[in-house]
Amino acid sequence: MFPVKSKKIANLKHNMVAWLYLSPFIVVYATFMVYPLVRGIQLSFFHKTFFSGYNFAGFSNYIGVLTDPVFIQDIFNILYFTVATVLIYTFLSLIIANIFNRKGILTYIMRSFVIAPLVLSVSVIGIIWQLLFTSGPGNNLISFIIGKNVQVLNNPSFAMWLIIMATLWWTLGSNVIIFLAGLQSIPSEYYEAAKLDGASDVRTFFSITLPLLRPLIIVVIILQTIASFQLFGQPYTITGGGPFNTTATPLMYIYGYLTTNIGFASAASVILFLMMLAVSFIELFVISRRKEEW
């Protein structure tokens, strides 16, 4: 009887020590993540500005957001951006990581070129790309390719793809780093055995590399989806949401209401958060269902 009781006391002390070590993270997480989330949901049911009190509004903020054509357009914009970036970034970063997964001075130099843009701030990225495509060489190159003079920043057909390309150039390195880490953790014996069996590089990629990287691919897709829904700085600094609201995003919409109606902005934030969760879970479900084909 006494040994069992002593074991329970020992386990209790062990758990208390564990929670003690976890407590700083829990406090910080609750302060900067849980409380703002709960507070934002609460504010979404009120009309509130910086200079007025709290006036209960029920679901009127949500109805106002969901019936606003501008917000609906912003949602379509961000969905378009998310689909394009998730597909392009995941595929391209995986291919580049495979190319860079070898030794050599040239490989190290090329890795630096891909990763270097990550150190730049979003404002710097916006200024660079705005200058390139206002009347700079980028705008001249596009005009030369299509055979007629075009202002990229003022053209609805090109503006969103300009944002996509700017984001690609800026953030591709982060996904490449993740895939490089995954590739370098795969035992070389697998590739040596495949080579002895006469498997081609393509067959080796689809039979060994891709299945073993599946967990990382899922992580990259989910992270890229979340990051895409948080798009703000690039369109804000490059196009300002134009032309004709074709590059505006929900975060820009929320930002516009922060000073005029905090409750309205909070309702839009909650809707965006739920959409982000829904899309991420759908992606995770679809990928998990297709795991037998990998």
Give pLDDT tens digits for 187-242: 888 888 888 877 777 888 888 888 888 888 888 888 888 889 889 989 998 888 88
Q: 12 with 107, same domain?
A: no
Q: 232 with 277, same domain?
A: yes
User: Is the residue at 266 inside a domain?
Assistant: yes
The C-alpha atoms of residue 93 and residue 89 are separated, in whole angstroms, by: 6
Q: 77 with 165, same domain?
A: yes
Q: 67 with 175, same domain?
A: yes
Query: What is the residue-averaged pLDDT of the chain?
Result: 83
User: Is the residue at 91 inside a domain?
Assistant: yes
Predicted structure pTM score: 0.83
Mean pLDDT of 150-165: 84
The C-alpha atoms of residue 68 and residue 276 are separated, in whole angstroms, by: 19
Residues 6+ apart with CB under 8 A from 271: 62, 65, 66, 250
Burial of 17 (0-12, 13-18, 19+ CB in 10 A): exposed
Q: 212 with 110, same domain?
A: yes
Mean pLDDT of 45-71: 84
User: Is the residue at 48 inside a domain?
Assistant: no
Mean pLDDT of 73-99: 90
- Residue 282: pLDDT band (50, 70, 90) is confident
Give pLDDT tens digits for 1-11: 445 556 667 67
Given a contact cutoff of 8 angstroms between Cβ atoms, the answer to whether 84 and 96 are in contact is no
Beta-sheet strands, E only, within the chain: 46-47, 55-56
pLDDT for residue 184 is more than 60: yes
Q: 100 with 230, same domain?
A: yes
- Residue 134: pLDDT band (50, 70, 90) is confident
User: Is the residue at 49 inside a domain?
Assistant: no
Tokens of 194: 């495949």
User: Is the residue at 262 inside a domain?
Assistant: yes
User: Is the residue at 53 inside a domain?
Assistant: no
Q: 35 with 180, same domain?
A: no
DSSP string, 213-261: THHHHHHHHHHHHHHHHT--HHHHHHTTT-STTSS--HHHHHHHHTTT-
User: Is the residue at 285 inside a domain?
Assistant: yes
Q: 70 with 32, same domain?
A: no
Mean pLDDT of 140-154: 77
Q: 205 with 279, same domain?
A: yes
Q: 97 with 32, same domain?
A: no
pLDDT value of residue 79: 92
pLDDT value of residue 121: 87
pLDDT > 90: percent of the chain: 14
pLDDT value of residue 6: 65
Containing domain of residue 156, as a range? 60-293
Give me the amino acid identity at 152. Answer: V
CATH number at residue 237: 1.10.3720.10
Radius of gyration of the chain (CA): 24
pLDDT value of residue 77: 93
Q: Which of 74-83, 112-121, 128-137, 143-152 has the least mean pLDDT?
A: 143-152
Greater confidence (80 vs 149) lies with 80
Q: 112 with 155, same domain?
A: yes
pLDDT for residue 71 is more than 90: yes
The C-alpha atoms of residue 100 and residue 240 are separated, in whole angstroms, by: 36
User: Is the residue at 55 inside a domain?
Assistant: no
Instruction: Please give the tally of structural domains in the chain.
Output: 2
Q: 173 with 34, same domain?
A: no
pLDDT value of residue 291: 56
